[in-house]
Amino acid sequence: MILSLFGYLGLKISKTRTHIKPNDFDLFYTSVSTSTVSSMTAVEMEVFSNSQLILMTFLMFVGGEVFTSLLELIFARFSNNNNYNNSSTSMKNSLPIKVVNDQIELGLVSIPNHHSSQDHKQVNDVNGINNNNNNVPSGTTIVSYNNNKDMLLRSNSLKYLSHVVLGYFLLLQFVGTFLVSMYMSFIPSAKQVLREKGIKTLTFSLFTIVSTFASCGYVPTNENMIVFKKNSGLLLIILPYILLGNTLYAPCLRFVIWVLEKITKREEFSYLLKNSKEIGFGHLLPPLHSWLLVATVLGFNIIQFVIFCSMEWGTQIMDGLNPYQKFVASLFQITNARHSGESVFDLSTISSAILVLFVVMMYLPPYTTFLPIMDHETENDAKKDKRRLVECLVLSQLSYLVIFIILICITENKSLREDPLNFNVLNITIEVISAYGNVGFSMGYSCGRQLKANGSCKDLWVGFSGKWSNKGKFILILVMFFGRLKKFNMKGGKAWDLS
């Protein structure tokens, strides 16, 4: 919310590119949509000046999942270092070390010298006492708390992991920005689009890559990527970033750590690979889970691609494209359904069956797999009882979305009756699910679909929600926040049995 307020103030005090000055609520709406990486559009993108686009780039940069996961690691390192320091201090202030023949006692812990080799831990120094000390009898083994060694290894591993995530985050976006800049500079058709719209090449490249990697879906052009649907090379450059910053972030992160472990042989990388659950980082998944996640993502994409091509290959939306361009554009469109939201086709012209499929894809969380993840951690009965009580009180994600859709249908009731071709339940559902999934897909609004022609109506490149009342937009703001924080309520609704 602080980030959204900062973005709103920045957009308000800076000048727009055109004479059009969006109202305050639409600016706040845009800021929330940017910081939650939802890309719901209430203002035409070409209205924003270069400085405003740079501000929006910053909001997407820090609002994306990879950056927030980096912050999570920084906090985890800080907490772990505090625990390590407290543990070391408590050992130094513990009971004096008592050395007796064939054993050593540290406080109340004693370890015999004749224990098994598996449990044998020999250390040269314990709290300042070493094997060179004349007061230590020969044949005595000096042992230390092994927890400190484990905590130090964990602390170093978290440090290395944070460095890997930071490198992954910055390097990918630098490479992507460079590649898009080169493409826009050397391909005449793409270069001409930016020249006509007055958009700087570097701003477009950085904005688009950051937006795609953060799974936002904003593009500096009014038409989103529709204007570039014939530029297959550009689509292929951007396409991997849809996956690398979202659904395949966890498997790619594990792969990078595996490569670094093979190259450097560092113990920290090996520890990360073998102790992903103990690390407690939600994006570092076990190997089986990672493989099944990759298979699930590819499976969903194949299903979408086959259905999309079978129904849309020869339709009007493909006019002017050769088979190769159709293939790339179709692949780009279906991949964006989870969860970036960039479009090369007008969604309002796509068949309803495809739209329903997109709704399902938008609803699914990024790490949806066919693997049931079981929680094997033990808890006492009191904690279990409290958790069961909370789960009984908390509704499921789908229940909340149904409530939001009903509320928006109430606020937009007048438009639903007077303008049914634009305002209908399916269009509202797509808009709500898109905001919840932080995708940005929208059916848009067309004056030509009005049953009663309105002379003052003007077709604009804004999302469908841009035509809603402020009450409806406010509800969608809540949906965007709810969707961005969905991982904190994924276990809700367990008490409901629909069978």
Q: How many domains does the chain have?
A: 2
Q: Is residue 278 part of a domain?
A: yes
pLDDT exceeds 60 at position 399:
yes
Task: Provide mean pLDDT across the span 140-164.
Answer: 73
Give the end of a domain, one of 328, 363, 398: 363
E strand or H helix that includes residue 352: helix 352-363
Do 177 and 297 fall into the same domain?
Answer: yes
Q: Is residue 466 part of a domain?
A: yes
For residue 100, give the 3-state DSSP assignment: strand
Do 354 and 402 fall into the same domain?
Answer: no
pTM: 0.76
Q: Is residue 238 part of a domain?
A: yes
Task: Provide mean pLDDT across the span 373-398.
Answer: 54
pLDDT exceeds 80 at position 111:
no
pLDDT above 70 as % of the chain? 79
Across 42-51, 118-127, 365-374, 483-492, the highest mean pLDDT is recorded for 42-51
Do 307 and 415 fall into the same domain?
Answer: no
Q: Is residue 374 part of a domain?
A: no
Do 414 and 349 fall into the same domain?
Answer: no
Q: How many helices (H) and strands (E) does the chain have?
A: 19, 5
Task: Provide mean pLDDT across the span 276-292.
Answer: 89
Task: Provide mean pLDDT across the span 126-138.
Answer: 45
Closest CA to 253 of 169, 326, 319: 169
Q: Is residue 289 part of a domain?
A: yes
What was the pLDDT predicted at 459? 82
Query: Distance between CA 346 and CA 349 in Å, rounded?
Result: 6
E strand or H helix that includes residue 374: none
What was the pLDDT predicted at 81? 67
Q: Is residue 480 part of a domain?
A: yes
Do 357 and 393 fall into the same domain?
Answer: no
pLDDT exceeds 60 at position 137:
no
Task: Provide mean pLDDT across the span 401-419.
Answer: 86
pLDDT in tens, 178-199: 999 999 999 999 999 999 999 9
What was the pLDDT predicted at 115? 42
Do 298 and 231 fall into the same domain?
Answer: yes
pLDDT exceeds 90 at position 410:
no
Closest CA to 31 of 50, 51, 3, 54: 3
Give residue 302's domain range.
64-69+159-363
Do 266 and 395 fall into the same domain?
Answer: no
What was the pLDDT predicted at 368? 83
Min mean pLDDT across 81-90, 140-149, 161-170 is at 140-149
Task: Provide mean pLDDT across the span 350-365.
Answer: 84
pLDDT exceeds 60 at position 346:
yes
Do 420 and 289 fall into the same domain?
Answer: no
Q: Is residue 203 part of a domain?
A: yes
Q: Is residue 378 part of a domain?
A: no
CB atoms within 10 A of CB 225: 23
Closest CA to 27 of 56, 68, 66: 56
The tokens for 175 are 């490479």
Across 24-38, 103-117, 271-285, 405-419, the highest mean pLDDT is recorded for 24-38
What was the pLDDT predicted at 113? 44
Do 294 and 335 fall into the same domain?
Answer: yes
Are 266 and 260 in contact, with CB atoms under 8 Å apart? yes
Do 466 and 334 fall into the same domain?
Answer: no
The contacts of residue 124 (CB under 8 Å, 6+ apart) are 130, 131, 142
Closest CA to 121 of 132, 138, 106: 106
What was the pLDDT predicted at 4? 93
pLDDT exceeds 50 at position 99:
no
What was the pLDDT predicted at 235? 96
What was the pLDDT predicted at 401? 86
Do 277 and 398 fall into the same domain?
Answer: no
Please, what is the average pLDDT of the chain? 81
What was the pLDDT predicted at 76? 83
Min mean pLDDT across 192-201, 236-245, 282-291, 378-387 is at 378-387
pLDDT in tens, 443-474: 888 888 888 877 788 888 888 888 899 999 99
Given CA atoms 201, 25, 408, 447 in this order, what sign does their dihedral have? negative
pLDDT exceeds 60 at position 155:
yes
Residue 145 pLDDT grade (very low, low, confident, very high; cuts 50, 70, 90): very low
Do 263 and 342 fall into the same domain?
Answer: yes
